[in-house]
Amino acid sequence: MLNIVIILIKLVLSENITYDFINSSRGGQLLMIQDYTFARINKTCYVWTCSRKSSQCKARVKMNSSNVIVYCDLSHNHPPPKYFKTKEGMYIKM
């Protein structure tokens, strides 16, 4: 019962979360939420996992085909990466 309550809370919170799609230094696309970045598992999947793999972070986001967040767990076990946003709106990893 407790797991169901936690999931429902996360779904409700996900409706108010703003995000950006940014370009990675390797030419791919990242999802940025609250200064944290997420990488898509594969090109046909709508699940994004924390892009910091070395920390074994469990944070993840699931979107539908219209890029609406349907589930998110933003529980990171590390600080966010540092990015600088240019006047043109580009993000540069520091």
Q: What domains does the chain contain, in order, with CATH numbers? A: 2-93 (2.20.25)
More confident call, 37 vs 17:
37
Q: Is residue 18 predicted with pLDDT exceeding 90? A: no
Max Cα separation, the chain? 48
Mean pLDDT of 12-30: 76
Q: Is residue 49 predicted with pLDDT exceeding 70? A: yes
Q: Is residue 47 within 8 Å of residue 3, measured between CB atoms?
A: no
Encode pLDDT of 58-91 as tens digits. Answer: 899 999 888 888 898 999 999 998 988 888 777 8
Q: Is residue 58 within 8 Å of residue 73, measured between CB atoms?
A: yes
**Considering the chain, what is the average pLDDT of its residues?**
80
Q: Is residue 55 within 8 Å of residue 49, measured between CB atoms?
A: no
